[in-house]
């Protein structure tokens, strides 16, 4: 047996949910460019779960179900208030999602119907949990979800305490569409490994959140915003990036293992970043990002991934950087739960082998004789 570092190039599962072929990302056969421009996030979530775009009646029912399930148990809110104020937001989210299972009577019901209901429940509650965590950190009371709003609008409402403008809602909704699924990424694989043991859907999503927390996965967008903050202005972009390149430092938000000619999602976020900057009358973050993009592409041949422009998009939406990765989770829970449902349908425990590279032919020596 020979190990492949990072399982690169290893096909570990057969899936009909999403694909990346020749740099083209599709959800259930629909090109991401088509969905990003035309579909709502709720339509995409339905597509991932049920394999087709919903009819008008099906979308209406899903909207009602998500709205009805958006409230979080009071006990979970009270637990969240006890978390240390400086707790990593993803760590807090991981704990809160795990706690949600304790208040779901169907948590251990493994029927397809119950798991579909739990997928909807998790999708509905994650935005409420994250908005509540953000407000609690600021010493404010959580804002309850408002019945009848779609996920992007409701999240911004719960975060701000007032209804958001249409441009902000459209921008966040499109960002959610773009992040919804991405084949067998690290967090999705973690979720599938967990539920392949026939553990419950909450355990699978908790595992996925733990994987997404890492800076090499979902946390990259926070690192991008920290970089933009350190640079500060357009005149500092070139010397800052040049020094990084000269030192061979990693520049977060660039390159991707499965895309050789650029991440197809990045162009939509770039456009969104420009439009939000123009709406607010300040395109500095957008212009800085474009300049960084040009420098890194010219000197390293690397193109931005989905994390790079999402940092400026979320910042221009007035969202603090510690919420960037949790917002990723709001979107990606649709994909995680779709993969979990698929894993349950044709399950086999995921148990790979390891190439042993340690010592051999060792003999036991009593403790008295060991040096």
Known catalytic residues are 256, 307
Beta strands in the chain (DSSP E): 18-21, 24-27, 30-31
Nearest Cα to Cα of residue 217 among 231, 207, 227: 207
Query: Which of 302, 335, 331 minimizes the C-alpha distance to 314?
Result: 331
Q: Cβ distance 235 to 334 under 8 Å?
A: no
Q: CA of 205: how far to CAs of 178, 190, 197, in Å?
A: 19, 9, 14
Let me know: does 125 contact 70? Beta carbons within 8 Å: yes
Tokens coding 66? 């998500």
Query: Is 67 in contact with 127 (CB distance < 8 Å)?
Result: no
For residues 314 and 331, what is the distance between their CA atoms, to the nearest angstrom? Answer: 14
C-alpha–C-alpha distance, residues 131 and 136, integer Å: 9
CB neighbour class for 30 (10 Å; exposed up to 12, middle 13-18, buried from 19): middle
Instruction: Report the C-alpha gap between 114 and 120 in whole angstroms.
Output: 10
Q: With H, G, I as helix, E, B as strand and everything else as coil, classify residue 133.
A: helix
């Amino acid at each position: 047996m020979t190990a492949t570092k990072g399982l690169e190039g290893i096909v570990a599962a057969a899936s009909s949910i999403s694909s990346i072929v020749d740099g083209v990302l599709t959800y259930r056969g629909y090109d991401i460019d088509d969905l990003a421009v035309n579909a709502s996030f709720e339509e995409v979530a339905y597509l991932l779960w049920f394999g087709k775009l919903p009819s008008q009646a099906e979308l209406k029912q899903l909207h009602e179900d998500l709205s009805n399930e958006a409230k979080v148990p009071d006990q979970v809110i009270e637990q969240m208030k006890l978390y240390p104020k400086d707790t990593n937001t993803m760590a807090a989210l991981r704990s809160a999602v795990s706690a949600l299972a304790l208040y779901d009577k169907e948590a251990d019901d493994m029927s397809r119907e119950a798991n579909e209901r739990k997928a909807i429940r998790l999708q509905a509650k994650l935005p409420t949990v994250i908005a509540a965590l953000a407000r609690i950190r600021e010493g404010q009371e959580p804002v309850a979800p408002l019945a009848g709003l779609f996920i992007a609008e409701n999240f911004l409402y719960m975060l701000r305490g007032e209804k958001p403008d249409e441009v902000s809602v459209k921008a966040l909704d499109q960002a959610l569409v773009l992040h919804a699924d991405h084949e067998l990424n690290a967090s999705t694989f973690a979720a599938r490994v967990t539920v392949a043991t026939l553990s419950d859907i909450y355990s699978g999503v908790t595992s996925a959140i733990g994987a997404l927390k890492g800076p090499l996965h979902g946390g990259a967008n926070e690192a991008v915003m920290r970089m933009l903050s350190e640079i500060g202005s357009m005149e500092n972009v070139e010397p800052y990036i040049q020094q990084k390149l000269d030192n061979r430092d990693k520049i977060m938000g660039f390159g991707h293992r499965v895309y050789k000619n650029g991440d197809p999602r990045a162009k939509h976020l770039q456009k969104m970043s420009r439009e939000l900057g123009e709406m607010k009358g300040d395109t500095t973050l957008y212009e800085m990002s474009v300049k960084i993009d040009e420098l890194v592409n010219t000197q390293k041949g690397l193109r931005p991934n989905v994390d790079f422009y999402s940092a400026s998009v979320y910042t221009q939406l007035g969202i603090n950087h510690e919420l960037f990765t949790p917002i990723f989770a709001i979107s990606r829970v649709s994909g995680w739960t779709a993969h979990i449902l698929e894993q349950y349908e044709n399950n086999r425990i995921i148990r790979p082998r390891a190439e042993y590279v340690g010592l051999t032919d060792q003999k036991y020596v009593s403790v008295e004789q060991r040096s």
